[in-house]
Structure 1
Amino acid sequence: MIEDEAVGARIAQIRKTRGLTQHQLAQKAHVGRTYLARVESGDTSASTVWLAQVAQALGVDSARLSGPQEDPDQLHQLVPTIRRALASTDLVDDDLEPLPIDQLRQQVVQLGEWRRATKYDKIGATLPDLVDQLLTAGREHGETAYALLADTYRAGNTLAHKLGYSDLSLTAMDRMEWAADRSGDPLLVATSHYLRAAALARIGAGKQALKLLDKTMIDVEPLIQADRDAAAVWTALHMRAGTIAATLADASTSQQHLAEAAKVAAQVGDRVVYETQVGPTNVKLHQIAAEVDLMQPGKALKTAGTVVFSDGIAAERQTYFHLDVARAHLLNRKPDEAIEELYTSRVLAPQHFRASSTVKNTIRAAASQQRRAHDGLRALANYAGIED
């Protein structure tokens, strides 16, 4: 059905070139051998972070495994815009007169709403000018402007990593940490570490990501009893650590972190704190992702059956849920059920669907499991930019 070479075939080819057995590669990448075998055969799909671990072990860039990310809506034309927004922090036009700080705050709030709704084209159109405005506003408003600037750089990070540009993602994280440090807010700094850990994991530095998260959790923990927002950030750090540990096939560490997150999540509630979705529902979503990466599809689907989305859960989080459920169905060799989840994901977040390498890999795996690809799967593949 699909002309693009499947990710599993790329892994197998490079592995054999390196003279490695599946067992040797699995050990070197700290992933499960059985999962590796199923990905290589095209029988199931893998997360971006899992692929990064394997790419690092093979000594190649993860883009070589996931392949080109063609996009029918030309979202990749946003890349020059992202690069301009991240280019520097000290070359803003001296004659620029920024908008009043309250208006800039409203624009940053809107940017966050677009990010959670996966409206990447709107972010790209707004990002460069807003960055320039906030850099200039920082001279007058100091910490207030820098806090807003950190959230704006976060939106740049989202665009970069959704479109598969790891170098730009790391640059955006440098900029976000720079602004967070100047905001005077330790929780914003901790949130920047939460995001940096994800960026590190996406380039195969999962162990370093866990070290960063552990250090940050130690810094935040003394604040959680008196500060509900600190408890929310602390929960998010544990959720991130739980999913990263799962991609390293460390079930015990993953479960410990997710259990810690669940303990505090109830008092936090389902809401957005520091531009991050937190609460009991999001803990379950991270648990599902971890269970899939640990090759526990039965547990993942059981957890998924308990998820009820409230109106406040972002489309971005919901689409990840349906993608992870699709991956669980593929592990159970039920491609039709996986395809249904892919359809729901497409409806919820069409731009994310078109840009995501995980979507493409899941479609390819579903095609591999179906004896005859039906029109629905062909339509999904074409929508995601995979040539028929």
Structure 2
Amino acid sequence: MPAQAQEHTGTRIREQRRLARLTQRQLADRIPYSYSLLNQVECGARTPSDRFISAVAEALGISPTVLTESEATTSLQRERLAVLMRPIRESLDLYDLDPLPRPDRRPVPTLAADADALCQRVRATKLRRAAQELPALIIDLTHAVHTTPSTAAWQALASAYRSAHDVALKVGYRDLATVALDRMGWAAERASDPCLAAIRHYKRALGHDRSEHDLGRRLIQLGHGLLEGETSREALAVAGQLHLGASAVAARCDDAAGVERHIAAARELADRVGGDASEVHWLSFGRTNVGLHEMGASLTMRSFDQALTQARALKTLPPSTLTSRRARFLVDRAVVELETGHPDAALRHLAEARRAAPEQTRYHPRTREAVTGLLHVARRTPDSLSHLAAWLGM
């Protein structure tokens, strides 16, 4: 068994043992293996055999796959997601084809309004409903741009593709999210809409990890280039969001100076825009979002004490904060509280995130990170933590 897999299995055994509220000694007493071996497996010093894993699973009353499954979702969750996402994938593949006509096809003004409403639903984290509505919307808009092309139709199609990207990314379908972004660029180019095109580059930049810092930076610069000479409130908000994206890219490379520079530029643009501009392409750009990104950058750079100070300075988020951003903040805050020695506060923030945006919170990778950390530090596992872990499929 590869080293990474055995470390994962040992970690999963420890998590499941704690969920069962057993000490190592108590679990060892239930299996035909020694306490010493169990201890070494949990800390990754020994490779567990298949028989050992089966014995532990039987003692805990769970399937052995729970101890060896490396994905963030259960098999049942993945099957349900596959059924939900397959029609979206198929609709994205129609981009260069004129879909078969339907008698109930909607006119372009209605489609544009529906695309905007769907984007709003995604921001409200109603992901399942949005995913169910997306395929028909994309198909109707694809037919419209092939038969009666107009700027409004291309803009609406670009917006629908953006929503497809956001839904796919939030539920862990990164490959599909990448395809949707490509389609968004294709439609935004034909709409001659620099703001939509710049938003696409912002999202592309966030899709690259630490090792691709230069690529992320170049994509942000490309977005700014598209907005050169644009002075509308819409363009200022998009430019500000690009700076926030640049701060996230810099944080992944521990570039504190870059983070500070881009946060300052974003804050200046937020002051020029005035208030929060969530109505501009549903970006949620404004003073509040600048503060949220500043805290998120500190978290990414593992400056946990600084992140906690910044999180507490934000206090109560304004009612206008989009649900998706509010839930993301709560999950980030939970990780920060955990890392600074406040597990009770971390669990409270996770529970609040779940109430605010259950679908988004379930699939957010930091949710699982925080719950795993709580399981490791808890002397006893409270019911609320056990229920949260079970809800995540742990």
Q: Which residue of 2 aligns with 1:30?
A: none
Q: Which residue of 1 aligns with 2:183?
A: 175
Question: How is 1:333-348 mapped onto 2 (pairs within 5 angstroms)?
Answer: 333-348=341-356
Report how far residue 376 of structure 1 moved. Answer: 1.1
Report how far residue 256 of structure 1 moved. Answer: 1.0
Q: Which of 95, 109, 115 in structure 2 is aligned with 1:108?
A: 115
Q: Which residue of 2 aligns with 1:156?
A: 164
Separation of aligned partners in 1, 2:295 and 2:5: 23
Q: Are 2:234 and 1:265 equivalent residues in the alignment?
A: no
SS in 2 for 1:118: coil
Separation of aligned partners in 1, 2:70 and 2:211: 14
In structure 2, do the counterparts of structure 1 residues 352 and 365 end up closer, same or farther at CA, with 3 Å as the change threshold? same
Q: Which runs of 5+ in 1 are unaligned?
A: 14-40, 43-63
In structure 2, do the counterparts of structure 1 residues 210 and 122 end up closer, same or farther at CA, with 3 Å as the change threshold? same
Separation of aligned partners in 2, 1:9 and 1:318: 34
Separation of aligned partners in 2, 1:124 and 1:352: 13
Q: Are 2:89 and 1:83 equivalent residues in the alignment?
A: yes
Aligned residue type for 1:119: K
In structure 2, do the counterparts of structure 1 residues 66 and 108 end up closer, same or farther at CA, with 3 Å as the change threshold? farther
8 Å CA contact retained: 2:332, 2:366: no
In structure 2, do the counterparts of structure 1 residues 381 and 103 end up closer, same or farther at CA, with 3 Å as the change threshold? same
Report how far residue 96 of structure 1 moved. Answer: 3.5
Q: Are 2:279 and 1:275 equivalent residues in the alignment?
A: no
In structure 2, do the counterparts of structure 1 residues 136 and 292 end up closer, same or farther at CA, with 3 Å as the change threshold? same
Q: Are 2:255 and 1:247 equivalent residues in the alignment?
A: no
Separation of aligned partners in 1, 2:284 and 2:356: 17
Report how far residue 207 of structure 1 moved. Answer: 3.0
Q: How many residues align?
A: 331
SS in 1 for 2:148: helix
Q: Which runs of 5+ in 2 are unaligned?
A: 12-42, 45-67
| Percent identity of paired positions between Structure 1 and Structure 2 | 30
SS in 1 for 2:175: helix
Q: Are 2:74 and 1:70 equivalent residues in the alignment?
A: yes
Greater Cα offset, 92-101 or 264-273: 92-101
Q: Which residue of 2 aligns with 1:331?
A: 339
Report how far residue 169 of structure 1 moved. Answer: 1.1
Greater Cα offset, 349-358 or 337-346: 349-358
Q: Which residue of 2 aligns with 1:289?
A: 296
Q: Are 2:98 and 1:92 equivalent residues in the alignment?
A: yes
Report how far residue 385 of structure 1 moved. Answer: 2.1
Report how far residue 340 of structure 1 moved. Answer: 0.8
Q: Which of 297, 318, 325 in structure 1 is aligned with 2:326?
A: 318
Report how far residue 145 of structure 1 moved. Answer: 0.5
Name which one, 1 or 2, has greater alpha-carbon Rg: 2
Q: Which residue of 1 aligns with 2:212?
A: 205
8 Å CA contact retained: 1:236, 1:278: yes
Greater Cα offset, 71-80 or 256-265: 71-80
Separation of aligned partners in 2, 1:229 and 1:11: 49
Separation of aligned partners in 2, 1:66 and 1:108: 36
Separation of aligned partners in 2, 1:291 and 1:243: 10
8 Å CA contact retained: 1:151, 1:275: no
8 Å CA contact retained: 1:277, 1:314: yes
Report how far residue 211 of structure 1 moved. Answer: 1.4
SS in 1 for 2:284: strand
Report how far residue 372 of structure 1 moved. Answer: 2.0
Q: Are 2:204 and 1:196 equivalent residues in the alignment?
A: yes
Q: Are 2:243 and 1:238 equivalent residues in the alignment?
A: yes
Cα distance per residue 1:250-284 (max 9 Å; x no partner) = 11111111111011112222122123111000111
**RMSD, aligned α-carbons:** 2.7
Q: Which residue of 2 aligns with 1:61?
A: none
8 Å CA contact retained: 1:217, 1:237: yes
Report how far residue 357 of structure 1 moved. Answer: 2.2
Separation of aligned partners in 2, 1:8 and 1:333: 28
In structure 2, do the counterparts of structure 1 residues 71 and 339 end up closer, same or farther at CA, with 3 Å as the change threshold? farther
Separation of aligned partners in 2, 1:143 and 1:217: 22
Report how far residue 65 of structure 1 moved. Answer: 11
Cα distance per residue 1:145-179 (max 9 Å; x no partner) = 01011110111111211121221111011001001
Report how far residue 90 of structure 1 moved. Answer: 2.4
Q: Which residue of 1 aligns with 2:389?
A: 381
